[in-house]
Amino acid sequence: MTRVAIVTGGTRGIGEAISMALKEQGVSVAANYAGNDEKARAFTDRTGIAAFKWDVADPDAVQAGVAKVEAELGPIDIVVNNAGITRDAVMMKMSYADWKAVIDTNLGGCFNMAKATFAGMRERKWGRIVNIGSINGQAGQYGQVNYAAAKSGIHGFTKALAQEGAKFGVTVNAIAPGYIDTDMVAAVPPEVLEKIVARVPVGRLGQAHEIARGVAFLCSENAGFVTGSTLSINGGQHMY
């Protein structure tokens, strides 16, 4: 049978690589996106993967979006919670709005997507949820109390939901990427990026497809005994 997956933030960067990796495994993929219609159309033209627009921070939009995917592709077996934003600032300069936006999207989006799909996975006795955390949720990062808190929360969310899904054949895992060569990292000033790379033992940035391979494994039949785990893919930058 063909599995059906939703990848949030699935049309660009790491999300695009994940969408492609799952498609290559024979999964029917729906790539969610939040705003850029032009880039989403280009993604679909390039990959043949359908793109669906909704804001993961909006519970009603998530319910409607998931229902639309199910109507077009079938019941959802796999959810990859990849959608994320940054609103970086030190505490003294961070606004309440920037705090709330990052928490609502990066962490709240995981809850909203699970809320819309978990019951069906339980009923069908099979499911895969993979949440994309971050090295900065594990180790912290100056100027990112909102982002670090949200990503750290994802790791706790993963462990708790894994316990609820285990006896129903639903696994819940997380991946914590290090610094990956994407648009988000490209926006970092070169002198800062140089210092970051100097702290990575393998001596380079990661590639999006390296994260996607980890996701593809956790979403596969072969990963049925892996749940509640966080897989760190960071070139050795943070180990614990």
**CATH number for 119:** 3.40.50.720
User: What is the average pLDDT value for the chain, to the nearest integer?
Assistant: 96
pLDDT category of residue 188 using cuts at 50, 70 and 90: confident
Is residue 203, in this structure, part of any structural domain at all?
yes
Task: Give the residue carrying structure tokens 């519970």.
Answer: 59
Tokens of 52: 């669906």
The better pLDDT of the pair 193, 173 is held by 173
Edge-to-edge strand order for the sheet containing 127-132? 50-53, 28-33, 4-7, 78-81, 127-132, 170-177, 230-233
Is residue 156, in this structure, part of any structural domain at all?
yes
Query: What is the domain count for the chain?
Result: 1
Is residue 239, in this structure, part of any structural domain at all?
no
User: Buried b vs exposed e over 206-225: b needs ≥16 C-beta within 10 Å?
Assistant: bebebbbebbbbbbbeebee
- Domain span holding position 40: 4-233
Is residue 238, in this structure, part of any structural domain at all?
no
> 12-21, 28-37, 151-160, 191-200: which has the minimum mean pLDDT?
191-200
> 19-28, 191-200, 204-213: which has the minimum mean pLDDT?
191-200
- Using one digit for the tens of pLDDT, what is the confidence trace for 69-82? 999 999 999 999 99
Longest dimension (CA), the chain: 53
Residues labelled catalytic = 147
Is residue 184 over pLDDT 80?
A: no
H/E/C letters for each residue in the chain? CCCEEEECCCCCHHHHHHHHHHHHCCCEEEEEECCCHHHHHHHHHHHCCEEEECCCCCHHHHHHHHHHHHHHHCCCCEEEECCCCCCCECCCCCCHHHHHHHHHHHHHHHHHHHHHHHHHHHHHCCEEEEEECCHHHHHCCCCEHHHHHHHHHHHHHHHHHHHHHHHHCEEEEEEEECCECCHHHHCCCHHHHHHHHHCCCCCCCECHHHHHHHHHHHCCHHHCCCCCCEEEECCCCCCC
57 in Cβ contact with 105 (< 8 Å):
yes
- Using one digit for the tens of pLDDT, what is the confidence trace for 23-72? 999 999 999 999 999 999 999 999 999 999 999 999 999 999 999 999 99
Cα–Cα distances (Å) from 160 to 134, 155, 165, 231, in that order, read 18, 9, 9, 16
Is residue 124 over pLDDT 90?
A: yes
Is residue 106, in this structure, part of any structural domain at all?
yes
pLDDT at 99: 98
> In the predicted model, what is the mean pLDDT of residues 102-131?
98
Is residue 240, in this structure, part of any structural domain at all?
no
First and final C-alpha spacing in the chain: 38
pLDDT at 240: 79
